[in-house]
């Protein structure tokens, strides 16, 4: 029997199991291949893992990058790609490279560099899940790393200002989305009817763009004009993540309902006490 | 450049035919040029040959600084200077020559994806080997990169470039990789290319496209450049259809020309011919 495997990653919101593209990729692959992973979302405690997230811990082995985690899962016989031909395997690698080169800079920009998005959504969300005082420092560092990556990989001449770099990376990202949409066409997943590694990567990159509500959303608006990609994300969410997502929502609802009932009970009791006092005062008078 | 400026330049480009004196600039072939730059330059040369557009190769020590984007090669056509394969393909397309018109949408998406794969894995691995592997840096890169310049400028320039490349490697997460891991990535990439090529003459049926030019540029350079170890070229040699592909393109597009030695890729020091 395989050793128990634990995955530490960022949690989710807005209907997603995770906001972080790489964590989402690993979770999706685990669902597709049937790997029994216990998912620990990073919460407000000091036990958060140091180093890159997501991190897979199995007995004594600690693995950190998505490609390596997926390799490890495949070696443990949790393989979502066994039905693929050699050429389809090659296509997988090529499309993943396309995603990383063309879509990832824009994704990083939307989350971490665009000032309005970062200050109103990303920073508070991540800061609330990191323990104080790291919450004051880590989101800023992640933002600086994202900007650094964008500028180093795409920011060379003849693009000299950040606005020109931004324009170029969003153009590339929209072109990449168009290419993915053409490749997907009308089929359910990229290679037929069963999801594979490529579907996990595409889902991991697209779902945060699709679901997270930002103030500046040009990439999301472009994505919503490609209905087959939206349908692709929704299908995976409902088929593979429904229990998790509904579980979260249900639990939140129960919690909210319980709090509401408690407060109402307290209020009623307070009112009755006041009314009772009033009546007794009135009676006394 | 902004969308308006790009459209304007494209319009300008489309009006003039391809001149006879188009020139491709790269660094000095014998002493200065490095593996990755040579691969990019060869890819552009192959692409222009496939489009039947004449171009002469000019070697200059300061080619990198003349280039509008800081990268070699760049072509000087009429009034315009365009660098790197991507923009050159678009420029040539604006003039009415294109290799990928016959592809349908899904094939075009695949072609772009495979070009990104080569850029993402092969080119980055070449850069890593040249600038982050200490042995290669000391023995090959530093002597070659600054060779046209006097001391201490040659050392300063090569250290500056090394620092830049290492910063970029760190940002994309390659700084922590060992040489074995990088070679494994090269192997994976070659395997993917080999499986995609299969038994066909070119990647998309019978006609070559820019993807063929790019793959040829990188693989041929890897196969024929002498480095401190043979491991990189061994990885490519494992796939016989890739070596046959390189040989085929070399024979078809490069051996028929006996103009100056720079167009025939055979004339380079420390080179082993494929036709051994």
**Coil, strand, or helix at residue A61?**
strand
- Mean pLDDT within B165-184: 90
User: Is pLDDT above 70 for B264?
Assistant: no
Q: Give the Cβ contact number of residue A11 at 10 Å.
A: 18
The model's pLDDT over B115-140, given as tens digits with 9 standing for 90+, comes to: 999 999 999 999 999 999 999 999 99
pTM of the entire structure? Answer: 0.84
Q: Does residue B88 register a pLDDT over 70?
A: yes
B2 to chain A: closest CA residue: A164
Query: Residues with Cβ < 8 Å from A198, sequence gap 6 or more?
Result: A91, A92, A95, A96, A190, A191
CA distance A228 to chain B (A): 15
The per-residue pLDDT for B258 is 38
pLDDT band at B2 (very low <50, low <70, confident <90, very high): low
Helices B105-117 and B210-224, interaxial angle, to 10°? 20
Helix or strand run (H / E) with residue A56: strand A55-58
Q: Is residue A38 within 8 Å of residue A4, measured between CB atoms? A: yes
What pLDDT is attached to residue B241? 92
What percent of chain A is predicted at pLDDT more than 70?
Answer: 84
Overall average pLDDT of the B55-68 stretch: 90
For chain A, what is the mean pLDDT?
83
Q: What is the pLDDT of residues A46-85, one digit of tens each?
A: 555 556 778 888 888 888 888 888 888 888 888 888 888 8
Is B213 an 8 Å CB contact of chain A? no
A33-51: b (≥16 Cβ within 10 Å) or e? bebebebbebeeeeebeee
For residue A65, list chain B residues with Cβ-Cβ distance below 8 A: 173
Q: Given pLDDT bands bounded at 50, 70 and 90, which one contains residue A279?
A: low
Q: Per-residue pLDDT tens for B202-244?
A: 998 788 999 999 999 999 999 999 888 888 899 999 999 999 9
Please report the pLDDT score of residue A158 as a whole number.
Answer: 65
The band of A153, judged by pLDDT with boundaries at 50, 70 and 90, is confident
Q: What is the Cα–Cα distance from B249 to A220, expressed in whole angstroms?
A: 43
CB contact under 8 A, A183 and B110: yes
CA distance B259 to chain A (A): 33
The answer to whether B112 faces chain A, any CB pair under 8 Å, is: yes
Nearest to B164 by CA among B192, B139, B190, B130: B130
Mean pLDDT of B77-83: 88
Please report the domains of chain A, with CATH numbers, ordered by start residue.
Answer: 5-240 (1.20.1050.130)
């Amino acid at each position: 029997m395989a050793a128990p495997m634990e995955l530490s990653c960022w949690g989710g919101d807005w209907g997603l199991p995770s906001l972080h593209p790489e964590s989402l990729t690993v979770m999706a692959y685990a669902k597709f291949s049937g790997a029994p992973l216990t998912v620990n979302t990073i919460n407000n405690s000091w036990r958060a893992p140091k180093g890159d997230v997501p991190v897979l811990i199995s007995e004594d082995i600690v693995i950190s990058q998505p490609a390596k985690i997926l390799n490890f899962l495949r070696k443990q016989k949790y393989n979502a790609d066994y039905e693929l031909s050699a050429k389809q395997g090659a296509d997988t690698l090529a499309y993943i490279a396309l995603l990383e080169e063309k879509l990832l800079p824009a994704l990083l920009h939307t989350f971490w560099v665009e000032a309005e998005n970062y200050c109103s959504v990303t920073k508070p969300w991540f800061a609330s899940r990191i323990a104080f005082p790291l919450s004051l420092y880590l989101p800023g560092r992640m933002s600086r790393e994202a900007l650094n990556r964008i500028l180093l990989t795409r920011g060379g001449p003849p693009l000299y200002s950040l606005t020109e770099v931004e324009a170029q990376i969003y153009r590339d990202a929209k072109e990449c989305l168009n290419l993915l949409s053409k490749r997907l066409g009308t089929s359910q997943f990229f290679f037929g009817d069963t999801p594979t590694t490529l579907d996990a990567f595409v889902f991991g990159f697209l779902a945060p763009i699709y679901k997270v509500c930002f103030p500046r959303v040009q990439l999301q608006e472009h994505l919503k004009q490609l209905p087959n990609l939206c349908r692709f994300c929704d299908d995976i969410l409902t088929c593979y993540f429904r229990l998790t997502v509904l579980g979260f929502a249900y639990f939140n609802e129960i919690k909210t309902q319980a709090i509401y009932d408690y407060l109402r009970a307290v209020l009623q009791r307070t009112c009755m006490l006041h009314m009772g006092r009033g009546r007794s005062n009135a009676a006394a008078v | 450049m902004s969308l308006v400026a790009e459209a304007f330049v494209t319009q300008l480009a489309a009006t003039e035919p391809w001149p006879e004196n188009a020139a491709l600039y790269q660094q000095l072939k014998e002493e200065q040029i490095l593996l990755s730059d040579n691969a990019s330059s060869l890819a552009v040369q192959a692409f222009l040959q496939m489009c039947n557009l004449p171009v002469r190769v000019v070697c200059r020590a300061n080619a990198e600084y003349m280039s509008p984007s800081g990268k070699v090669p760049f072509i000087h056509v009429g009034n315009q200077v365009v660098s790197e394969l991507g923009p050159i393909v678009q420029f040539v397309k604006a003039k009415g020559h294109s290799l990928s018109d016959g592809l349908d949408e899904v094939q075009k998406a695949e072609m772009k994806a495979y070009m990104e794969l080569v850029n993402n894995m092969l080119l980055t691995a070449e850069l890593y080997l040249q600038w982050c592997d200490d042995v290669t840096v000391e023995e090959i890169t530093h002597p070659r990169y600054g060779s046209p310049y006097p001391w201490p400028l040659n050392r300063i320039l090569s250290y500056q470039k090394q620092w830049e490349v290492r910063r970029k490697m760190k940002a994309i997460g390659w700084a922590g990789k060992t040489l074995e891991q990088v070679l494994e990535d090269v192997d994976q990439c070659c395997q993917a290319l080999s499986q995609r090529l299969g038994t066909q003459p070119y990647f998309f049926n019978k006609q070559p496209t820019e993807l063929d030019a790019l793959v040829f540029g990188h693989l041929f350079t890897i196969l024929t450049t002498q480095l401190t170890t043979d491991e990189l070229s061994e990885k490519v040699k494992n796939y016989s259809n890739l070596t046959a592909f390189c040989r085929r393109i070399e024979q078809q597009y490069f051996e028929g020309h006996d103009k100056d030695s720079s167009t025939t890729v055979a004339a380079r020091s420390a080179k082993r011919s494929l036709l051994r």
